[in-house]
Structure 1
């Protein structure tokens, strides 16, 4: 009963006219920042943090602004992924796999529509999870140590082979390339320079934004220039902008399953939306089997990662508010915002700082509805991007990407680096190497190394810690089964297919 009283109090805070205006501004800014390749929620929240502090907003108003920008970015991130094939952040990679093929088929409006509904439902389920289970789930998340995180990442990497079953060897090689790229830079433990070729610009490694823009944006421009003639159109004219009830029902089970996966992964401190979207996408591809068209333009391939990454974004507030542990990079920035106001997150925050916590939860519910109502009418505006001639669109993509890259370190070396990565990405794509495993290998590689080293440091080099307890062994067994089961079932299908042909 106390929970509902606190929630009603939160709505009193959220429905304050000033906070409503702040939430609307945050939603709009977040959507714009999310749709620009190379920015993403971390940059959006980091840019607005000093602004919120200098405007002398109250703690609850400042947190509402940053939180609405965060989920607005998750909504907006799908736009460039679907329409341009350029994921603005790691969590949007999986959306690109089916979203952009749908846009090329002339179904960009449908892809944007199902992604908006999926984002709304995923966020709504996660916010309900915050209200009902925050303290309980936070205590469960504490059981994940470095060994459990290592096993979770191994499980995510193991599923890469099944993600693109037509080319498992190329998928594996692409993931290994991504893992190798994470080793570039200074070793955090020993201070040794690894694969930097004595170039100071590589001492901090290759930033994610540079890699993803080089592999997706620059290489895509090369493909556009290769395939396009002045009178040729690559992307078909967009038909219906909204999905039918039948199509929504077709995707509904996928959305609900992915929302729960995203929520529980988001609760794990440090796991983030990238793992959530990858696991949900690959799980749904497994469930669909041969009947699905994942990777070729399946609506479920858009619904799954969008529901998961938005649920994960909202779920990441649980460890932040209850334990003071950021569940993602963006909530780490928001933790900095709380410290600016001398607020220490913890289990008692739900009662001692009720205005902040429950005002934030209520604002998330309101912002989620606002984002759905804001995004659906704008689908027609977004798909107009597809009607822009390729000869105009390609330079625009290059300019926006270059600005995003240059803003990171303000060095011309980064511009040269995206060109080199773009050329390599172009040849890899011509050789039919999938880019998603490469990017996921890069994103998860650093987490894999860090958690492996932490686990071995705790155990003084004893490898048995990696399969101790019950969580890590279950995840490792799951990883083994993911690798073994698909080839086994393929062998079982072959005799039955042969018998049918003989009959």
Structure 2
């Protein structure tokens, strides 16, 4: 009965006129972000953080969450119509979606992407509702040692699931932890790593770093790769949206598998929507009786990844709402949004503010329904937006990013810092470093330090507390096993195969 009463509370919150409007705004902005290449979900959420200062916490989180899962819907549109993924999660969708469009079947491809996304989103919402309370009860038994070990496991999983070199992923996390240490020491109040620069004495804002690494860096990369030619659509007018019975018959197993795979990977720190879509495509290709069809217009290559990335985008809220630990960079920004509102994310939030937690959960189902209804009719508008050359589009994106950075701390120095991180982020992309683990390390760093110090103080300086407490010891043992398996040659090859796009 508890879950039913909680869902009733959530429904009452989610269907209030203000929250319905914010959910719709988030879904539309998210779809737009997904459609337009070079904007990015992380940069958009970071840019809009200052807008949420004066909003009610529940409405703010509902809107930001809508942007995140709405972008997964929008990214498929550009992938299918013009072979340009608006989001990294839709890279593999372009492989078969664009080929379907070239064959005159853009309508069914868009419809299957929307149906798969809606189904996966609904299943993920049910999982969030079902798992939130048990995980919260487990988390309440955690002490500082267990929290430190859990966060360590989160960073190790981020390394294991990161794309590319393990050593580079470790380097990014260590750099993120170092950036988090900039500012005043929480115990002694002595400045550290600020090098006498006054603007760094309060530390770096993760929103500023995120906008630099993911906003400005993406703009530079797009300016390098975009040609002067306008994008040519394979179909000026999308007709015949309804998929055939054969399309549905071929798609539904892929949708189910993608939903299951994405739901599992979304919960893991470092997993998220990107690896889920790649893993789903790899799985569908391996299970197919005719793998040669993939890359030539196989509808399973659209259905599986689109279901997986939406499921993962929404189940990544589970560790955020129950443990207060971000599963990916966007969740890290949502933790920041909660802290701005004076809310401490973690297991007690479900007890102290059930209306916020359950309101956000129910709003996800409402948002998915909105996206299903509004996305297909709006395809024509998105098509017209795609005709705007990037050389005209990017100055507006730069201005909005700069305004977003400045409004966080009303400091022009923050804009310069974001620009510096933009150049650094571009260098990272060129040298095959994945910047997401850096942001994850930067957000978890202060929490890890706090719990490390508390555990050592409570144990009177006994460092063995991390291995003598059973739960903490078990988590650290899992860390060691995951790290060992990750560096094995056979596992390294499997990690690389997941991200193969051809």
TM over 0.5: yes
Q: 1:215 & 1:419 partners in 2: Cα distance?
A: 9
Alignment match of 2:148 (pick from 138, 147, 150): 150
Match of 2:67 in 1: 73
Q: Deviations over 1:220-241 (max 9, x none)?
A: 333333344434x7x7757789
Cα displacement (A) at 1:312:
4.1
Secondary structure of the 1:388 match is: coil
Q: 1:173 & 1:358 partners in 2: Cα distance?
A: 37
Q: Is the 8 A contact 1:171 1:434 kept in 2?
A: yes
Mapping of residues 118-157 of structure 1, within 5 Å: 120-121=118-119, 124-125=122-123, 127-128=125-126, 135-157=133-155
Alignment match of 2:212 (pick from 192, 208, 214): 214
Q: Is the 8 A contact 2:350 2:357 kept in 1?
A: no
1:443 aligns with 2:443: yes
- Distance change (3 Å), C-alpha of 1:42 and 1:170: closer
- Distance change (3 Å), C-alpha of 1:432 and 1:148: same
CA RMSD of aligned residues (A): 5.0
Q: Is the 8 A contact 1:214 1:422 kept in 2?
A: yes
Match of 1:427 in 2: 427
Cα displacement (A) at 1:362:
5.8
Match of 1:270 in 2: none
- Distance change (3 Å), C-alpha of 1:51 and 1:175: closer
Match of 1:169 in 2: 167
Q: Is the 8 A contact 1:259 1:308 kept in 2?
A: yes
Cα displacement (A) at 1:79:
7.1
Cα displacement (A) at 1:493:
8.9
Match of 2:462 in 1: 462
Aligned length: 441
Q: Deviations over 1:165-208 (max 9, x none)?
A: 64233333233222222222222222121221222221222222
Q: Is the 8 A contact 1:259 1:307 kept in 2?
A: yes
Match of 1:408 in 2: 408
Match of 1:482 in 2: 482
- Distance change (3 Å), C-alpha of 1:388 and 1:71: same
Q: 1:221 & 1:130 partners in 2: Cα distance?
A: 34
Alignment match of 2:312 (pick from 302, 308, 312): 308
Q: Is the 8 A contact 1:126 1:315 kept in 2?
A: no
Listed as ranges, the gaps of 5+ residues in structure 2 are 34-38, 80-85, 288-294, 296-300, 325-333, 495-502
Mapping of residues 191-210 of structure 1, within 5 Å: 191-210=189-208
- Distance change (3 Å), C-alpha of 1:68 and 1:392: same
Mapping of residues 377-396 of structure 1, within 5 Å: 377-378=377-378, 381-382=381-382, 384-396=384-396
Cα displacement (A) at 1:211:
1.4
Match of 1:397 in 2: 397
Q: Is the 8 A contact 2:213 2:435 kept in 1?
A: yes
1:26 aligns with 2:26: no
Match of 2:257 in 1: 253
Cα displacement (A) at 1:145:
2.5
Alignment match of 1:99 (pick from 81, 87, 90): 90
Q: 1:80 & 1:184 partners in 2: Cα distance?
A: 37
Q: 1:182 & 1:450 partners in 2: Cα distance?
A: 12
Secondary structure of the 2:464 match is: helix
Cα displacement (A) at 1:451:
2.5
Cα displacement (A) at 1:215:
1.8
Match of 2:471 in 1: 471
Cα displacement (A) at 1:408:
0.8
- Distance change (3 Å), C-alpha of 1:178 and 1:7: closer
Cα displacement (A) at 1:262:
5.0
Cα displacement (A) at 1:72:
1.9
Q: Is the 8 A contact 2:43 2:210 kept in 1?
A: no
- Distance change (3 Å), C-alpha of 1:456 and 1:305: farther
Cα displacement (A) at 1:146:
2.5
Cα displacement (A) at 1:142:
0.5
- Distance change (3 Å), C-alpha of 1:254 and 1:387: same
Secondary structure of the 1:159 match is: helix
Q: 2:115 & 2:307 partners in 1: Cα distance?
A: 8
Q: Is the 8 A contact 1:214 1:421 kept in 2?
A: yes
Q: 2:478 & 2:10 partners in 1: Cα distance?
A: 41
Match of 1:277 in 2: 272
